[in-house]
Amino acid sequence: MGLIYEKIVRPALFKMEPEQAHDRGRTALMAMGALPLLCNFVRRYNLVKEDKPVKLFGLEFANRVGLAAGMDKDGEFPKAIEALGFGHAEVGTVTPEGQPGNPRPRLFRYPEQHALVNRMGFNNKGAKSMLNVLSKHYPKGKRGMPVGVNIGKAKTTPLDRAVDDYLACFRKLADQADYFTINISSPNTQGLRDLQTETYLRDLLSTLRNENQAYAKKLGHPPHPLLLKIAPDLSFKEIDQIVEVLLDLQYDGIIASNTTIARPTGFPDKETGGLSGGSFLRKRSTDVINYIYKATEGKLPIIGVGGIDSVESAGEKIDAGASMVQIYTGWVYRGPFFARELAQALKSKGENWI
């Protein structure tokens, strides 16, 4: 199946403008998710379960491979993602109200590097729309895998009011999220990465933690797992400061990492935005994962993201200290059944993985 994708399907998609191809894929996945018999058939072929469920921050995952945020911005096709062998999906990034994102073109391919550059700008339909879609088509309590909700700040919201946007998304989507990821690391919303600094970070994360605890107490169930997604462009000193806050506030995990604004030597740097995929980000994100793992002595669960386009590159993330991985660009280049390949390989290593 992978060969068919690489020889026939991918060349056809790559003749299209990148965002048009993404939209075609989105339509196909939504259509697949609307056909229960097809989903069940595909799932029987693709589902890879670890011998024991992967237990992380109070949730259970069938395997260690998830879909990174950005692919399913509005929570429209997690049922198809489950059928294709993923152990979890992260939807979003979502903002309180819908917004168009940055002007097109804003997504660019670099096939020789197996990389993408995007400056999408959190284009999405808003938290209410995501709530409606998830509750109707893939409701909590009736789903076969955890769904994380990645939340962000609207383009027009000033940094000193950013916490209001994160709170609004949390309140709207708490009933449908299995976990939340706070995205303060996209390079495509002006000023967003400033939220990673001491000036804003502790207040933002403590406010969200308090809201989460109050919500859980009101309903009489455990708080939602809260994760933070960071940039790969941080210094080790900056990472130390972030990790200190996360441990102090008892956050459940960290996702390393988002796209990078840096470029490798010789990269055909024609477009601004975040670079995803490729060997350059692969190494940077793995280095960040390993640093966090050693600095925390493995006490802070890590989901590894960045440059995963092979079994080897996924294994590097696990060896570096990640408990699970997420893919995006590698899925674009390797095809719909790539998650199954990775999940099977990680399972086969068993206890040899961290």
Answer whether 67's CB lies under 8 Å from 328's CB.
yes
Phi, psi values for residue 60, rounded to 5°: -115, 135
Helix (H) or strand (E) holding 313: helix 311-320
User: 179-183 and 88-94 as β-strands: parallel, antiparallel, unpaired?
Assistant: unpaired
Residues involved in catalysis: 186
Rounded CA-CA distance 150/165 in Å is 12
In degrees, rounded to 5, the angle at the alpha carbon of residue 329 between the alpha carbons of residues 177 and 125 is: 40
> Cα dist. 171→24, 166, 321 in Å?
32, 9, 32
Phi, psi values for residue 216, rounded to 5°: -65, -40
Within 10 angstroms of residue 52's Cβ, the number of other Cβ atoms is 8
CA–CA separation, 250 and 43 (whole Å): 36
Q: What is the dihedral of CA 58, 195, 332, 177, to 10 degrees?
A: 30
116 SS3 class: strand
Q: Give yes or no for a contact between 48 and 63, defined as CB atoms under 8 angstroms apart.
A: yes
Q: In the chain, what are the helix, strand and coil shares in percent, each to the nearest 5?
A: 45, 20, 35
> Alpha-carbon distance 306 to 344, whole Å?
19
- List all residues 6 or more positions away from 81 whose beta carbon is below 8 Å from its beta carbon: 29, 67, 72, 89, 145
Q: Would you tell me how many other CB atoms lie within 10 Å of the CB of residue 63? A: 24
User: DSSP secondary-structure letter at 9?
Assistant: I
